[in-house]
Amino acid sequence: MTDADTDDIRTTGDGAGGGRGARPGGPPKALRMSVELPLWRALTGYRILTLVYVLGLFAVAYPRYAHPLGGAAYMAALTLWTALTWRRTTSAERCTRQFLLGDLGFAVGGILLTSLIDTQARIMGGAPTLPSIWAAGAVLGFAIKGGWRWAAVASSIVAAANLVERQALARDTVHNVVLVWVASVAIGYVVEVARASERTLARALQIEAATRERERLARDIHDSVLQVLAMVQRRGAAIGGEAAELGRMAGEQEVALRTLVAGGPVPRQRTAADAAEGAAVPAGPAVPGPPPGGPCDLMALLAPHAGAGVALSGPGTPVGLPAAAAGELAAAVGAALDNVRVHVGADARAWILVEDEPDAVLVTVRDEGPGIPEGRLAAAEREGRLGVALSIRGRLRELGGSAEWISVPGQGTEVELKVPKGRAPEGGRRGRHGHE
């Protein structure tokens, strides 16, 4: 945990009086939401109050010390240290490790100095040490700053000093040592839990603010750009000719813009007009490669396939897979869509459904074509056309998954691609395109 975890958490409004902290016509208001601040203030008060108590305790027992002037010198130094450093315990930023070590040094030094200042009879009789309960403040500072581990180390050092000063395992000494150790560790653990909750709350507020902003942009776009594109598509289809092509392009841009607003970038798709200018019609949109390691969101890799003729549906949350596995699965989906375009037609509609199961990811690609005759895939493989065998089945086999075709004549074809989670491809990547 770093000091930055206590920074301000900002919330945003939509300018229309949305939530707390929103100021119409102005920037969002910063809200201080640190759960540590009351703990630091309580520690500051504890150090001051216990110092007063310790000074009074020493004054009452002053005549009974073996070397009272030495005790008075320590008390003066302790008072000066507390007065000069009281602001150090008002926040995590000011309470540095060097200060905590100095505070612990004053506590441990005072405990060990007691055996030289006080009489042996008073020590064995259970008289308090020179810093008395002020020493617990040093341990609590470690607990609030660094959590239960720091608290355990600091309280153990204080416990060892108390045992050395007493030179015996007296019941009252052991009781006080265990009490300080348990209390400091418990407080340190509670602080760690509170910090984790604070980080979760900060993340939730950021997501909420981003969602509100996305919804606002979606409303504005829907009320303007999307309606214009939809009107151009309808008018172009009604007029026909070159206007029909313009309407079709407007429809594709409408779908791409809706996908972008919904949560993912969609690259521009090549059109038939591009092909007429000298380039071959591509088999499908270019799919960006996965990042070079770590988990990858499959939905982000499949988003570029969505368009006027392809509908993509899936969970509202990221579908995580190892980067290499996600890339291979996305390439297999691309190969299945290539087969739809080649064997059903460039204007054929297709649907991609992503299901995130507990132990696997299932992707279904369905089209509205005439279906695949029984035995056609096996015959194509024997004839050397290995698009299905290599581009789809081969990829899924390397992932430890499976690829199944469900086809009914006249009712289209479904390709079910299933990949277990946590499995990376065994071999290298193959080329993306391949047909039956």
pLDDT band at residue 73, thresholds of 50, 70 and 90?
A: very high
Q: Say what the pLDDT of residue 7 is.
A: 40
**Kind of pairing, strands 295-297 and 320-322?**
antiparallel
Q: In this structure, what are the phi and psi dihedrals at residue 56, rounded to the nearest 5 degrees? A: -65, -40
Question: Which residue, among 272, 353, 343, has the nearest Cα to 306 in the 3D structure?
Answer: 353
220 pLDDT band, cuts 50/70/90, is: low
Can you tell me the mean pLDDT for 35-50? 88
Q: Which DSSP letter does residue 305 get?
A: G
Q: Poorest-confidence range of 105-119, 287-301, 393-407? A: 287-301
Q: Which residue has the higher pLDDT, 1 or 415?
A: 415
The listed range with the strongest mean pLDDT (27-31, 218-222, 378-382) is 218-222
Q: Kindly give, in sequence order, each residue whose CB lies less than 8 Å from that of residue 401, ignoring residues fewer than 6 positions away.
A: 329, 360, 417, 418, 419, 420, 423
Q: What are the φ and ψ backbone dihedral angles of 429, each rounded to 5 degrees?
A: -80, 140
For the ranges 238-242, 387-391, 430-434, which has the lowest average pLDDT?
A: 430-434
pLDDT of residue 327: 86
Question: Quick one: average pLDDT of 301-316?
Answer: 84
Mean pLDDT of 237-264: 75
Map tokens 């521009």 to a residue: 268
The residue with greater pLDDT, 388 or 229, is 229
110-118 average pLDDT score? 90
3-state secondary structure of 51: helix
List of residues 6+ apart from 18 with CB closer than 8 A: 212
Question: Closest Cα to residue 92, out of 157, 138, 41, 154?
Answer: 41
pLDDT mean over 214-233 = 71
**What is the 3-state secondary structure of 111-160?**
HHHHHHHCCHHHHHCCCCCCCHHHHHHHHHHHHHHHCHHHHHHHHHHHHH
Q: What is the mean pLDDT of residues 70-87?
A: 92
CA dihedral sign of residues 156, 160, 161, 165: positive
**Is the model's pLDDT at 226 over the cut of 80?**
no
**Strand, helix or coil at 194?**
helix
Q: What's the pLDDT score for residue 18?
A: 40
Question: In this predicted structure, which of 26-35, 137-146, 356-365, 399-408 has the lowest mean pLDDT?
Answer: 26-35
In whole angstroms, give the CA distance from residue 136 to residue 173. Answer: 14
Residue 184's CB is within 10 A of a number of other CB atoms, namely: 27
Residue 363 — very low, low, confident or very high, per pLDDT cuts 50/70/90?
very high
Among 116-125, 217-226, 242-251, whose mean pLDDT is lowest? 217-226
Q: Answer yes or no: is pLDDT of 72 > 90.
A: yes
The band of 79, judged by pLDDT with boundaries at 50, 70 and 90, is very high
Summarised one tens digit per residue, pLDDT across range 10-41 is 333 333 334 434 444 443 443 444 677 888 88
What residues are paired with 322 via a beta bridge?
295
Average pLDDT, the chain: 76
Predicted confidence (pLDDT) per residue in 310-359, tens digit? 888 888 788 888 888 888 888 888 888 887 887 777 778 888 999 988 88
- Structural contact between residues 417 and 329, judged by C-beta atoms closer than 8 angstroms: yes
Quick one: tokens of 58?
């020493």
pLDDT tens, residue by residue, 144-196: 988 889 989 998 998 888 888 887 776 777 777 788 888 888 888 888 888 88
State how far the Cα of 125 lies from the Cα of 168, in Å rounded to an integer: 11
Supply the pLDDT for residue 436.
Answer: 46
- The more confidently predicted of residues 290 and 26 is 290
Q: Span 204-230, mean pLDDT?
A: 74
274 pLDDT exceeds 70? no
Cα 101 to Cα 39, 104, 436: the distances in Å are 19, 5, 72
What is the C-alpha to C-alpha distance for residues 380 and 405, in angstroms, rounded to an integer?
A: 14
Nearest to 386 by CA among 328, 332, 435: 435
Contact 232/242 with Cβ under 8 angstroms? no
pLDDT of 338 reads 82
Predicted pLDDT of residue 1: 41
Question: Within 222-293, where are the H helices?
Answer: 227-239, 242-262, 272-276
CB-based contacts of 339: which residues, under 8 Å, 6+ apart? 387, 388, 435, 436
Q: What is the DSSP letter of 419?
A: E
Give the pLDDT of residue 175. 77
pLDDT at 376 over 80: no
